[in-house]
Structure 1
Amino acid sequence: MNSKLSHIQTPNDMHARSWGMRLIEPVVAIVMLYLVALATGDEITGNHAVLAIITFFISSTLFGFGEQRHMPRDATFWDFTKAALLNWMIVIGFLLLLGYLTGFFSLFAMETLVLWFALTPVALVGSQIAAHRISYSLRKSGLVRSVLIVGVNDVALKLAQRIEEHPGLLMHVEGFFDDRDLSRQPEGTRIPLLGSMNDLPGYARAHNISTIFISQPMSAQPRIRKLLDELQDTTASIYFLPDLYVFDLIQARFDSVAGVPVVAICETPFTGMNNMVKRVSDVVLGTLILIMLLPVMLAIAIAVKLGSPGPAIFKQRRYGLYGEEIIVYKFRSMTVAEDGAQVTQATRNDKRVTRIGAFLRRSSLDELPQFINVLQGRMSIVGPRPHAVAHNELYRKQIKGYMLRHKVRPGITGWAQVNGFRGETETLEKMEARIAYDLDYLRRWSLLLDLWIIVRTVKVALQRDNAY
């Protein structure tokens, strides 16, 4: 079987072309920063490099999901302008917020920043229109990869749709081959078939097909083996589309272990470069926030100590990364310090909550010491909220996938908290909803999402809802 599969390729080249298109806007923004600095006579220093790196991470994430990726061939100048302006304004918003919190922009000439903010959209629109036109010109001239898909199913249809939506891939789906007749296709689809699987090799040879995707279940293995044997008489690159959608995927991707190809079904989003980006952002933001809030934290510690007997800082065992126990710090807000086999969640009008503790819990100020946990590497600023060990042991038996939230460091704030699941979870249904958001965060993570959660957390904390 291995020898028959040896000529199947992994889709690295398609990822490279997609990333190439995605990097156009970040590169343009960075180039404009340096061109404007040169034009204004602003001395280029390491600060410009730091700003360029921050801009790259924010814009590559944002523009990677922007509307310009799906522009039709007849898109107008206004279509590109609107998409570029909207995305660039969001990038500027995050940069201004970061500059306000850190004072970073004071290191640059104001003229440089203003001109950069104003002129970059012009360059973005120009580059997007040029890339769009070049892509469609190449497609029209025939410099595209002809594609056939074996199997008409949900995965195959999704692939065909994505190829159509991403002209930068320079691919064109010529048709489908399937042994099933039209009446057995997925409901609502009317895909014209070019033939059965037996007809595919002859068609591929006659039309010099460059790429073939096989979307068939593993139960069809004998037919796939026969098809691969016959396709060795063609020059087509062959890809296999595993039906992974039957699984609850978290950060699914292709990888290799010592040269052996594997498919990740459930993995942490923080591997490779993502892990470095996440940790650097935690350390930088955590340090800045601790410096700014240090006077506030000292005042709170004194108030807690004077308000009731006991320590100012409450230490509780929680589950951290990979389910290992960690010690989490909070300002003590109760007259008790529960950390045993049973921990009762705080409820409305809970008599255990002190007067100063009630205020701290409503405003989330009791969580501030956890920025120390962030610098220690035990927690992140954004991630699934850590639960008491007793609650973990209870809910892991009742909620499917509960422990998957521990594939990342727990956070001071999280996707569930800014979506209404903050504080008490008095029913199993509410806890299930919170876990659903935690797992959704693992699937969707990006630096942009983290920044958005931080911004929304401020609003949620001010509302003071559902925190007792």
Structure 2
Amino acid sequence: MRAVINKNRQKRLTVDIILLIASFYFAMLLVGKPLVGSQLLIPCILSFIWYFTSKYTNLYDDFRTTNFATEFVELLANISFQLVGIGFIYFTLNDNDHVRTITGLYIVFLTVLLGMKKYFIKQWKLYNWLTGHDIKNLLIVGSGEQGITFFETALKNKQFGYNPVGFVDDTFTKEKSDKYKGSLCELENVIEKHDIDELIVSLVEYNEEKIKSILRVADKFAVRVRILPEYLQLYSSKFRMDLFGNLPVITVREEPLEEFHWYALKTIFDVLVTSLIFIFVFSWLFPIIAIAIKLDSRGPVFFLQDRWGKDGKVFKCIKFRTMVHNASTKKNDGRFFQTVKNDKRITRVGAFLRKTNLDELPQFLNVFLGDMSVIGPRPHAVQHSIESKEQIENYLVRHLVKPGITGWAQVNGYRGETSNLFMMEKRVELDIWYIENWSFWLDVKVFIMTVYNMFKGDMMAY
């Protein structure tokens, strides 16, 4: 199986390099510059750069749950290396003839060709998986909670292209009774019988001998293994060990945005994106939405609500009004009244604004004022936060950073109504993951995924 995976990766890499060379050739052709002499070496060097940067960014990783937006961000990272590479090459050659035009055309062609190629291949793969073709058989080893969740997720999401066969474990539990395939000592037989392609190891406690045994069997049949570290009992998946004098100290939760240079980079990203939105969107779209709101129902254009920001600081969150004027936000029992599907408080224009996320646009004013960031955990109403922190463990951790207009939880489907406690816990879990794993490219990825979802539509947007 690994040979097949490597062959597929090699094919994808080869096709991309062909498109890379074609992009450079088209750029040279349009400016009328002959592809001779040292110019012939440039696409070879660019291909060499592409090979190594694609390895660094795992562009050709075969994990199936990666969506198009994520792949496109990884693609942009590689293209940015190409921009630096071609600039350095022409600087070294001391060639100034049409350099800017060639570079611009090359980057545009490369982005369009590779972006379209990735999109159509992704759609073709999704179609194959949804119709039952090219499916990978998946086996869960162990009885960890994450393993059961992984199984259920794969079972409910056919678009991932997995067929979860069942569980192998030394203990028998009701949660997996109908999918129990045998004990760990029967792993070889189960792999052969069900033609397993991938193993997900989910052991409740770390057992070195068991893991070594599982890996030996997996290698014997060339089966890919992924391990869910259930045995880590820390509250965070990100931790750092330092020395305080001669004493080892573990920092339970590492936060990249605590570092000044990363915080500064995120602030620059916020300023740039907000400035572009003000210049190219606010100037024409705001008046249109404002008029539509006023024509649709009585009341103000904007809705201001107290929400918790960084460190629990309360600020006025600005949104386009999507509900009837003076709509109640409290239930009869005094608890917070969340928006629900087919909510009668929502106006006709408001339903459209919520569906497309356009109701959130005024929050760029909050970014400009310093209360919010473009990307981050979504801020909740004060009453909602007060109720949630009593129900959900680690809830307040999400307030270690500025809240965002959009966030990692939202682009992964956890948005809208959260009356279900599991949904809210999952949202908090993803928010904390974002805080611990923040990177500039993660913010770019979330931004692109948000724009993509705006055009595609979101079932949870109401």
TM-score scaled to structure 1, two decimals? 0.50
Match of 1:403, SS? helix
Task: Give the aligned residue type for 2:370.
Answer: G
Aligned to 1:112: 103
Task: Give the aligned residue type for 1:187.
Answer: K
- Pick closer, same or farther for the CA change 1:420–1:93 going to 2, 3 Å: farther
- Pick closer, same or farther for the CA change 1:280–1:61 going to 2, 3 Å: farther
Q: Which segments of 5 or more consecutive residues in structure 2 lack a partner in the other structure? A: 1-30, 32-51, 61-71, 83-98, 111-206, 214-230
CA distance, structure 1, for counterparts of residue 77 and residue 445 of structure 2: 12
CA apart distance, 1:260: 9.4
Match of 2:256, SS? coil
For 1:428, which of 403, 421, 433 is the aligned residue?
421
Match of 1:187, SS? helix
CA apart distance, 1:367: 0.3
CA distance, structure 2, for counterparts of residue 377 and residue 109 of structure 1: 37
For 1:308, which of 297, 308, 311 is the aligned residue?
297
CA distance, structure 1, for counterparts of residue 313 and residue 460 of structure 2: 28
Aligned to 1:347: 340
Task: Give the aligned residue type for 1:467.
Answer: A
**Contact map agreement 1:66 1:87 (CA 8 A) in 2:** no
CA apart distance, 1:396: 0.9
- Pick closer, same or farther for the CA change 1:109–1:67 going to 2, 3 Å: closer
CA apart distance, 1:66: 3.9
CA apart distance, 1:430: 1.2
Aligned to 2:76: 90
Q: Which segments of 5 or more consecutive residues in structure 1 lack a partner in the other structure? A: 1-39, 41-59, 69-85, 97-107, 120-183, 191-243
Match of 1:109, SS? helix
CA distances 1:217-239 after superposition (whole Å, capped 9, x unpaired)? xxxxxxxxxxxxxxxxxxxxxxx
CA apart distance, 1:187: 2.6
Task: Give the aligned residue type for 1:466.
Answer: M
Aligned to 2:277: 289
The count of aligned residue pairs is: 270
- Pick closer, same or farther for the CA change 1:88–1:390 going to 2, 3 Å: closer
Identity fraction in percent: 38
CA distance, structure 1, for counterparts of residue 452 and residue 422 of structure 2: 25
Aligned to 1:151: none
- Pick closer, same or farther for the CA change 1:457–1:333 going to 2, 3 Å: same
CA apart distance, 1:458: 1.8
- Pick closer, same or farther for the CA change 1:61–1:301 going to 2, 3 Å: farther
Task: Give the aligned residue type for 1:264.
Answer: T
Match of 1:425, SS? coil
Aligned to 2:376: 383
Aligned to 1:369: 362
CA apart distance, 1:404: 0.7
Match of 2:307, SS? strand
CA distance, structure 2, for counterparts of residue 115 and residue 359 of structure 1: 39
Aligned to 1:161: none
- Pick closer, same or farther for the CA change 1:297–1:446 going to 2, 3 Å: same
**Contact map agreement 1:62 1:448 (CA 8 A) in 2:** no
Determine if the alignment matches structure 1 residue 417 to structure 2 residue 405.
Answer: no
CA apart distance, 1:461: 2.2
Task: Give the aligned residue type for 1:409.
Answer: K
CA distance, structure 1, for counterparts of residue 297 and residue 77 of structure 2: 46
Match of 2:453, SS? helix
Determine if the alignment matches structure 1 residue 333 to structure 2 residue 307.
Answer: no
- Pick closer, same or farther for the CA change 1:458–1:431 going to 2, 3 Å: same
Match of 2:391, SS? coil
CA distance, structure 1, for counterparts of residue 245 and residue 444 of structure 2: 36
For 2:252, which of 265, 268, 290 is the aligned residue?
265
**Contact map agreement 2:79 2:107 (CA 8 A) in 1:** no
CA distance, structure 1, for counterparts of residue 59 and residue 349 of structure 2: 48
CA distance, structure 1, for counterparts of residue 382 and residue 403 of structure 2: 13
CA distance, structure 1, for counterparts of residue 244 and residue 288 of structure 2: 52
**Contact map agreement 1:61 1:446 (CA 8 A) in 2:** no
- Pick closer, same or farther for the CA change 1:290–1:255 going to 2, 3 Å: farther
1:193-272 aligned at under 5 Å gives the runs: 245-249=232-236, 251-254=238-241, 262-272=249-259
CA distance, structure 2, for counterparts of residue 319 and residue 258 of structure 1: 38
Aligned to 1:317: 306
Match of 2:280, SS? helix
Match of 1:328, SS? strand
Task: Give the aligned residue type for 1:358.
Answer: A
- Pick closer, same or farther for the CA change 1:404–1:115 going to 2, 3 Å: same
Determine if the alignment matches structure 1 residue 187 to structure 2 residue 210.
Answer: yes
CA distance, structure 2, for counterparts of residue 390 and residue 246 of structure 1: 32
Match of 2:316, SS? strand
Determine if the alignment matches structure 1 residue 454 to structure 2 residue 441.
Answer: no
